[in-house]
């Protein structure tokens, strides 16, 4: 035995969730054309083979915003925004019709419509609908 005491591991081990998060970022970069198929496959293999967190960081370091999220506008996202706008406009028409039928002097639909249009504006600004407090979309600590 040596006189040195073990102070624990110097490196933190990575989890399957962290590996999957990096793999998702790499797949998105491949889809966007930021990585070639060969380079993407190499990085994916390295991500799944990684045992420690510090091995994952370099895999996305040269991607936009260190691989956190690259702005993407796809036809699917545009369709999602169009569907969201259609739902908001339909609800607007229904609430306005109910207001007319009720004969109320105060335009009470303004209250729910405010929140509906704020959600639509947020969707349009971000390009996709993402809950404000989602634990699934957290950025890994080594990518901050």
pLDDT tens digit sequence for 75-128: 777 788 889 999 999 999 999 999 999 999 999 999 999 999 999 998 888 765
Partner residues linked to 52 by β-bridges: 13
Q: Is the pTM of this model over 0.95?
A: no
Q: Are 38 and 26 in contact (CB under 8 A)?
A: no
Question: What is the reported pLDDT for 129?
Answer: 56
Q: Are 140 and 21 in contact (CB under 8 A)?
A: yes
Mean pLDDT of the chain: 80
């Amino acid at each position: 035995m040596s006189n040195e005491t073990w102070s624990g591991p110097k490196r933190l081990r990575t989890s399957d969730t962290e590996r999957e998060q990096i793999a998702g970022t790499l797949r998105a970069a491949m889809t966007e054309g930021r990585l070639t198929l060969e380079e993407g496959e190499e990085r994916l293999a390295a991500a799944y083979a990684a045992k420690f967190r510090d091995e994952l960081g370099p895999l996305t370091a040269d991607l936009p915003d260190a691989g956190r999220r690259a702005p993407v506008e796809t036809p699917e996202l545009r369709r999602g925004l169009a569907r969201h706008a259609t739902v908001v406009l339909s609800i607007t028409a229904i609430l306005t019709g109910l207001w007319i039928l009720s004969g109320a002097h105060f335009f009470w639909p303004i209250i729910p419509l405010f929140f509906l249009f704020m959600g639509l504006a947020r969707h349009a600004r971000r390009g996709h609908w993402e809950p404000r407090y989602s634990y699934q979309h957290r950025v890994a600590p080594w990518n901050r």
